Amino acid sequence: MLTSLFLTFFLCSFGQAPQSISYQAIVRGNDFVPLTDQLVNLQISILKESPTGNPVYVESHLVTSNSFGLINLNIGQGEVIDGTFNAINWSNDEFFLKVELDPEGGNNFLPMGTSQLISVPYALHARTAEFVDDADADPMNELQALSFNTNNNELSISGGNTITIPTGGTDADADPTNELQTLSKTGNTINLSQNGGSVTDEVDDADPNPLNEIQMLSKTGNTVTLSQNGGSVIDEVNDADPDPLNEIQTISKTGNTITLSQNGGSVIDEVDDADPDPTNEIQTLSKAGNTVTLSQNGGSFIDEVDDDDADPTNEIQTLGLSGNVLSISDGNSVTLNGLSPWVGFSNGIYYDQGEVWVGSTGVAPGLKMTQSGMSVLGTNNLTDLSPSELRFEEGDVIRAKLSTDRLRFWDGNGQYTTAIGGYPGFMGTYFDGNPVSAIGLNAGNSGSIGLYGSSGNINISMTSIIGQPDAGLIDVNYNGNARARMAANGDDAGYFYSYGPSDYYNTYQGYVTGFPDIGAFYAAQNGYLRAKLTSNFEDAGEVVTFGPSSENVRIGNPAGLPQTGKISLFHMNKLTSVLSIDAYNDAGAIATYNPSDSLNVLLSSYGALSPDQGAVRVYGDGEQKVALLAEDDGAGAVEVDGPGLETNVRISGGLTDPDSGEINIFKDGNERVSLNVTNAEAGALVTRGPSGNKLVEITPPLGQPDAGGLGLYSPLGKVNVQLGITFNDPESGTIGTFKNGFLLALMGDNPGGAGTFSTYDVNGSIKSLTTTSTYNEAGVFTTFYNSQPLIDLSTSTSNGGYLLTYLNQAPVTHLTHNGAGAGGLWLANSNNYYDAVLTSNNDPNNFGGILQLFKNGNEKLKLTTSTNVGIIQAKGAAGQVITDISSPNGDDNSGCITLYHMGSIRTLNCSNQYHGVIKTYDDIWLENVNINALGTNTSHGYISVNDFNGFPQAGAYVDAGGQGIVFGDVKSFRMQHPEKADKEIWYASVEGPEAAAYVRGTATLIDGKINVEFPDHFSLVANPSTMTVMMTPLSPDSKGLCVTQKNENGFTVQELWNGKGNYEFDWEVKCVRKGYENYRVIRDSDEADPTPTEIPKKVTTADGGSPQPATSKSHFPQTRD
């Protein structure tokens, strides 16, 4: 990153000279924008004798710039690299300050310049005399003080005498010719007072140092140059600023339409004139009879001689025929004989025997008439013809003219249609008088063809490249702007460009520059390359795609292997994936990489000697973690590795039978689980503990390969659980659990063919039984304690399911049905009250689920349905509904929550097809808060806080234009009073008829000028065209301040009357926020109205009914052995 450093340094004045030099600088990037809040590293060197001299002291400073790019440091107090600052003998030589910078805060320093230390450090030299009381011990030559008494004009010297100054003021003598004079400079003129004359300073400079001259910044094209050998940079964005909204526009005129580029619109110029001056308009000369008139009130006069010239010997004559006497006016007459070839008819005479010529000898110039038409060949007798012109007419309309240098054609309406000649090799065609095609020569004297549209803009141009007459060029335009170009150039190769509306190219099809035999295709966006298709220098194709900042895909070949394909994917210039051919065994490979450039996944062949066996390897931290392999025995295998590269899991074919599968799981290299196929072709699973003992075994029983078996073992090798086939009944299975050899649970079947499950204690007593009831062949589950049932799962009297739980032999839970065809759950307490009911309601017109909660027999909560919606109702102590969750009136697809107090609504939360609503009400049902949608647009939110009449007094909404609006009588912030615990401080917002933003600060004039820069966030939100700047000088010596320039980046301040002040001033800038320039002060009264919402009605619901009684003896099931 190129960085420029604008420096100013000074020495603060102290009673004693400090051992440092105060230094300030503003750090800017190559775009001249300050580098704000950035850590930078400066290296300071004090050079002796010359700008290239040896350093006597070197130090570095790691500092952070402030919000204006300003850095402050003290030279002499940095990180010392070489030398001792206090040891510099400032009086012994000239010294120079060299500054180097790394804008990234590292040690890659860039030279920023070297300047001579003129006077500042010599305050340090003064310190060498600070403690020297006297140069010698002689009291007779001590320093003396001079004083003057203005009362008596006496001049005295301490330790000496006194003299009286002669009358005439505080002057040593009365001679007026040797008075003190003052030297001043205005511009580059130096003046000496007391008529001392003046001279012109040819070098308009504040000092004689040629190394710190003022530099000028200039821009040519997109090259920015700093004078005084300051270097130059390329401005990639050829613009004065990055704002796309203030670009230079071009005004053009086609016909009477004036157009402004950059979508600036167009207008019709009703006066089709090149300028608005009505006094210089084109005038037309006409003649009616012998009156000659000039249009535009130009006057007229009478042509006394109604003739084109004043020669009386060549006047127009009239030919007449009377009978057979042919006469000519002002001439003679002849008698025609009776064999005249002319035939008379009602309109005159005609001749049908051949050609008729009017002329001197029957040749041009003259008039030729035939039966097919008439031609005029350059006769001097017609004033509108030249001696070298041939005209073809049809009636009074000219249809063609042929002259010595061109041939022109018109249609029957007099519109120009074709022109040939006039320019070398030119032929043009026209429609309605406007050109539609042209063939001619370009500036290089090569052939050129142009096709035009109705607007007069050229649509297609075919020619050669100027300077390359053997290279063809075809341009296809839209509205006069090139949209496609096909050409051949001096490299003897063709290319094709296409352009978008912004005039940036979007595709290029041709060849690689300098290599006409290598084809290329480029695709771009806004002038930036996004895709490239070409051939590389290894005679192989290549495709590259680019993102906004870097390459993202490359399709080509590995280096040196043009017959091998390769696809690479990148992210932010880092390789992420590669698809290629393994050069060792002609097999495909895919690799993916992580951000640290290590392998993530590799898909390739099994090995160099096994190109036909595939492999997938997954890596972590550069080490293989998972491998999916096709092994040489024709079986697949999967290996999962641990951190130490040992195998954790292996899935493969069997060691002795690759057609059988095997899975092995390891821990620290020791097998823990194996899943394989036995020799009897049955599956088997064995798990082992750390000592290698068997823990679980799943395998067929001995001699029964088609039967399953499971055994679970204890650490001592004893079976804990057995699952298998009954030996005496191969169609029956059993599961038994054991402890220390004692059976605790058994699952099997009884001789009646019904399943049983029983549990036992260590004494063999039954604790639970699951079997079939002997009463009605229904399933029964019973638990016991001391032979008394605790839970009975059976049937009811109406053959419905029934679950009873007991407490002290009394039923407390009923799970059955309510007699209306629905199941239910009833929970009772010791007082014989139901606490909860879960069933369906007993309303035959509205079957639906219901949950009721009671207290002391009184319903408190109900969850049920009504028609098509669910309902939740909660009741208070008085039995009234306090909460209702249902749907709005008439809308079964929306929800609504309503809160009541003693039957009066207090809170409403509803939704509908378009939006949701939350409202709160006071004790007389008036709204006091409304969270809703805007009435004119339900996609926009609305919040209001209302007064005691229900009218909104404060709130917020999004208006029709999508802008957020906050309204209220007063908008305030509040804070706790810092000194009074029972008080608060409230401030009201400043209001006005615009949506404004402000920023303020304090700046310091330097030599009467300063450029104040805005923070980035203010430039993003403020419209600079609406800016106002207010300033308050903080110095009584101020001559006043003015703003000389302001833009989106900041403003420039200069002291009035060419002041050179160095003092602080406060400033404040206000602007209208971007996007809010059309803030509306006056609005329609219904603009902020919310969507109306109807209060839902409470719904009356049914209850759940009572449970059916249980079957007698259902809790004493009969079982089979």
Q: Tens digits of per-residue pLDDT, 473-499? A: 888 888 888 888 888 877 788 888 788
- 849: Cα within 13 Å, side-chain hemisphere: 7
Same domain for 673 and 685?
A: no
Reported as a single tens digit per residue, the pLDDT across 55-104 is: 999 999 999 999 888 899 999 999 999 999 988 988 778 999 999 999 99
Question: Is pLDDT above 50 for 1113?
Answer: no
Higher per-residue confidence, 1090 vs 344? 1090
**pLDDT value at residue 17:** 43
Q: Edge-to-edge, what's the strand order for the sheet holding 3-9?
A: 3-9, 21-29, 70-75
Q: Is the pLDDT of residue 596 over 60?
A: yes
- Residue 383 domain flag: no
Residue 170: pLDDT over 50 = no
> Quick count: other Cβ atoms within 10 Å of Cβ 817?
20
Q: What is the CATH number of the domain that holds 1027?
A: 2.60.40.3940
CA distance 269 to 263: 18
Asked whether residue 1009 is domain-assigned, the answer is: yes
Residues 685 and 668 in one domain: no
3-class DSSP assignment, residue 446:
coil
- Does the pLDDT of residue 751 top 80, yes or no? no
3-state secondary structure 863-920: EEEECCEEEEEEECCCCCEEEEEECCCCCCCCCEEEEEECCEEEEEEEECCCCEEEEE
- Of residues 337 and 759, more confidence is placed in 759
Strongest mean pLDDT among 128-132, 162-166, 816-820, 923-927: 923-927
Tokens of 388: 């070298």
pLDDT value of residue 874: 87
Domain count of the fold of the chain: 4
- Alpha-carbon distance 559 to 583, whole Å? 11
Q: What is the mean pLDDT of residues 919-931?
A: 85
- Which of 583-587, 708-712, 997-1001 ranks highest by mean pLDDT? 997-1001
Average pLDDT score over residue span 963-986: 87
Lowest mean pLDDT: which of 524-533, 593-602, 767-776, 859-868? 767-776
Residue 383 binned pLDDT confidence (cut-offs 50, 70, 90) = very low
379-388, 542-551, 726-735: which is most confident: 542-551
Q: Do 731 and 641 share a structural domain? A: no
Q: Are the beta carbons of 687 and 696 closer than 8 angstroms?
A: yes
pLDDT tier, 1120 (very low <50, low <70, confident <90, very high otherwise): very low
Residues forming beta bridges with residue 258, ordered by sequence position = 253, 267
In a domain, 1121, yes or no: no
Q: Provide the pLDDT for residue 384.
A: 45
Q: What is the predicted pLDDT for the residue at 59?
A: 96
Residue of higher predicted confidence among 491 and 172 = 491
For residue 81, the model assigns a pLDDT of 95
DSSP state of 163: E
Same domain, yes or no: 13 and 115: yes
Task: Read off the pLDDT band of 1040 (50, 70, 90).
Answer: very high
Q: Are 544 and 557 in contact (CB under 8 A)?
A: no
- Residues 113, 36, single domain; the answer is yes
- Per-residue confidence at 305, pLDDT binned at 50, 70, 90? low
Categorize the per-residue pLDDT at 722 as very low, low, confident or very high, splitting at 50, 70 and 90. Answer: confident
CB atoms within 10 A of CB 929: 15
Domain CATH for 105: 2.60.40
Phi-psi region of 894 (alpha: psi -120 to 50; beta: other; left: phi over 0): beta
Q: Compute the average pLDDT of residues 305-309.
A: 64
Q: Report cis status (omega within 30 of 0) of the bond before 562.
A: no
Give the burial class of 1048: count Cβ atoms within 10 A of its Cβ; 0-12 exposed, 13-18 middle, 19 or more buried. Answer: buried
Least confident of 229-243, 612-626, 943-957: 229-243
**Shared-domain flag, residues 668 and 688:** no
pLDDT at site 1052: 97
What would the pLDDT profile of 875-902 be if each residue is shown by its tens digit?
A: 888 888 888 888 877 677 888 888 888 8
**Long-range Cβ pairs for the range 823-829 (8 Å, 24+):** 824/1104, 824/1105, 824/1107, 826/1106, 826/1107
- Residue 948 banded pLDDT, cuts 50, 70, 90: confident
Question: Does residue 544 fall inside a structural domain?
Answer: no
Half-sphere exposure of 876 (CA within 13 A, CB side): 11
Distance separating alpha carbons of residues 647 and 625, to the nearest angstrom: 9
Is the pLDDT at 774 greater than 70? The verdict is no
Question: For residue 65, is it within any domain?
Answer: yes
What CATH number does residue 710 fall under?
A: 3.90.930.1
For residue 831, the SS3 value is coil
Residue 989 clears pLDDT 80, i.e. is over it: yes
User: Do 661 and 699 share a structural domain?
Assistant: no
The whole domain housing 712 covers: 681-772
The answer to whether residues 8 and 123 belong to one domain is: yes
Write down the pLDDT at residue 120: 44
pLDDT at 263: 81
What Å distances lie between residue 981 and 972, 986, 988, CA to CA? 20, 14, 21
Average pLDDT for 974-993: 89
Nearest to 653 by CA among 634, 627, 674, 626: 634
Which of 772, 804, 821 terminates a domain? The answer is 772
pLDDT category of residue 741 using cuts at 50, 70 and 90: low
Q: Please give the pLDDT value at position 1109.
A: 60
- List the one residue out of 379, 377, 414, 378 whose CA is nearest residue 394: 414
Q: Is the pLDDT of residue 952 over 50?
A: yes
Q: What is the mean pLDDT of the chain?
A: 78
- Predicted confidence band of residue 515 (pLDDT cuts 50, 70, 90): confident
Candidate ranges 298-307, 546-555, 687-696; pick with highest mean pLDDT: 546-555
pLDDT at 1045: 96
pLDDT band at 926 (very low <50, low <70, confident <90, very high): confident
Q: Could you tell me if residue 654 is inside a domain? A: yes
On whether residue 1057 sits in a domain, the answer given is yes
pLDDT at 241: 67
Q: How far apart are CA 630 and CA 1113, in angstroms?
A: 68
Paired residues of 566 in beta bridges: 556, 580
Among the candidates 772, 789, 807, a domain finishes at 772
Beta bridge mates, 1085? none
Say if residue 639 is in the same domain as residue 687. no
Domain boundary among 127, 144, 167: 127
Q: What is the DSSP letter of 1111?
A: P
Q: How many CA atoms lie within 13 A of 491 on its CB side?
A: 14
**Band (39; pLDDT cuts 50, 70, 90):** very high
Alpha-carbon distances, residue 673 vs 680, 688, 715 (angstroms): 20, 6, 16
Q: Are residues 123 and 21 in the same domain?
A: yes
How far is residue 840's CA from residue 1064's CA, in Å, rounded to a whole number?
83
105-145 per-position pLDDT tens digit? 999 999 988 988 875 444 444 444 444 445 455 555 666 76
> pTM for the whole thing?
0.33
465 or 131, higher pLDDT: 465
pLDDT range class, residue 450, cuts 50, 70, 90: confident
Please indicate, yes or no, whether residues 32 and 115 belong to a single structural domain of this protein: yes
Residue 1008 DSSP code: T
- Return the pLDDT at 1066: 97
pLDDT at 1036: 95
Same domain, 651 and 758: no
In a domain, 71, yes or no: yes
CB 365 within 8 A of CB 375: no
